[in-house]
Every structure is written in C-alpha cells, then in structure tokens.
A and B are shown apart, each in its own frame.
Chain A
Amino acid sequence: MFELGIVLILLIIGYTFGRLAEQRHYRSIIRREADYRRIPVFATRHLPKDLEPGIKTTLVMGSVVISVDYFKRFLAGLRALVGGRMKSYESLIDRARREALLRLQAQAEQEGGEMVFNVKLETSSISKGARNTVGSVEVLAYGTAVIKQRPPDRE
C-alpha cells in the first residue's frame, strides 16, 4: 500500500512537471526555430558550385541529452504490452532532434557561418533506464558551416 502511494506521487510529479517542462521547451524551440531561419541547414553532400570561390568551411555540431518523465515512462511501459505508436517517446526524440539542430545553428552563427551543409543526425540511447526502457536519448547533429569571406567579383 505504502509503495503504491509512492508510485502514485511519482506519477503525479512526473505528469505535472513533465508537462510543464515539455510545453516550455516546445515554446522555446518554436521561437528559436523562427529566429534561426536565417541560417539554412542542408543535408546535401556537395556545395553548390557557384558558392565555392572564396569561402571557408568549418565543422560545427550541436548535441543534447533529454530524458522522458516518470509518467510518460510508465505510459510507455503499458503501451509496450499492446504495441502501437509510443507518443511519449516520439515527442522526446522530436524535441531532442530539434534542439540539437538549433544548437548546431547557434554554433554556426557564432563561427560566422551563413549556412550548413551535409548535416548528419545521430541518435543514441546513452543510459538504459530501469528494465531496459529508453529513458534518455542523446542526439548529435553535425555538419560543415560555410563562412563567406566576401562575395568575389561582385561589387
């Protein structure tokens, strides 16, 4: 009975604070995504030919570790019994990926880059939670930032 009470309290704490944190995070992601639209990110492996003269490139990356809250982990445990979409992990990975890309863009801007090419995303589950649930994921985004020195042969 006592243990059940503790689990219930943990679930309530996880639900309220987890929801608040997620909403706050999504708001900040959406705001910063609009802000960083000035630094486009491409997945193409080659630079456009007309861009090539007079530029510098540098490696930039962004990474984040995000964990899911207790309530969602509990839900996911139930979901694993019947199968189907695991919404709680979908939003976790979505948040992590978008955050990693934003940090990549932030670093690119810091280094004076104007756009980022050949962006790769890598996801890994670093700490296996209790009973092999996902728990927390790390997402790394990396790419090559292009720093324009001065447009050559154009005023």
Chain B
Amino acid sequence: MLMTNLESVPGRTIVRHLGLVQGSTVRAKHVGRDIMAGLKNLVGGELKGYTELLQDARQEAIDRLAQQASAVGANAVLNVRFTTSSVAQGAAEMLAYGTAVELD
C-alpha cells in the first residue's frame, strides 16, 4: 500500500478514484506511565512514554487506514492527513484519513 500526503504520485496515473478512507483508534494512557509523566512534569522535558504511546496509536490508525483502503480495492492512499483529539480525560483519538485510489 503506497501512502503519501502529496496529491499525486510522480510518474504514475490514477486509474480509479475510490473515495475517502479512514482509520482511527482511541487510546488511554496507563497508570505506570502516568506516574512517570507526573514526575517528569515537575522538571519539564520530553515525556518519552507519551511519545511512544502516541506513536503506537498513530501506527495503528495507519494500519487500519491501509486495511480499509485494500478492502475497497485500492493500491494507494493519497493526501493522507492526521488529526489528534482528546475525547476524554486521559484518552486521545488518532485519526488518519486520505483518498483511496487505484494507480496503474
């Protein structure tokens, strides 16, 4: 599955346009990481636990995006965008969306 956030793929033409596809996940942070982050909050700096957590979540959103894209018969997703929103205290939603297309 080819993914890009450009609007076209250089050197290849779009044969079919298959509409918007998306993948999302909601993740909560767990207590162990929270305690570490709470300590780190005191002195400032990078919260590695949260960075990893969000990276994992984003990867899952991308995987689901790819899954949905292949389910509609696409071989590429163009113009991929990411958004993050916090839905509840201590939980974040990751959304990845893009346009599924079939390239020659």
Provided the pairs A64-B51, A66-B47 are in contact, do residues A55 and B10 lie with their beta carbons within 8 angstroms?
Answer: yes
A98 within 8 A of B: no
B32 within 8 A of A: no
A138 to B58, CA, bound (A): 12
Contact in complex: A142, B10 (CB < 8 Å): no
Which of A46, A65, A124, A128: most chain B CB closer than 10 A?
Answer: A65
Neighbouring A residues of B50 by C-beta, 8 Å: 65, 126-127, 136, 138
Contact in complex: A57, B84 (CB < 8 Å): no
Question: Which B residues form the contact surface with A (CB < 8 A)?
Answer: 2-7, 9-11, 29, 37, 40-47, 50-51, 54-55, 58, 80-86, 89-90, 92
* 24 A-B pairs in the complex with CB atoms less than 8 angstroms apart: A13-B43, A21-B44, A45-B7, A47-B10, A55-B10, A64-B46, A65-B46, A65-B50, A66-B45, A67-B44, A67-B45, A69-B41, A69-B42, A118-B5, A120-B5, A120-B81, A120-B82, A122-B83, A124-B85, A126-B50, A140-B54, A140-B84, A142-B5, A144-B4
Given contacts A65-B54, A70-B44, A138-B84, 14 further A-B contacts (CB under 8 A): A14-B44, A17-B44, A18-B43, A21-B44, A53-B10, A57-B2, A57-B9, A58-B4, A65-B50, A70-B41, A127-B90, A136-B41, A136-B47, A142-B80
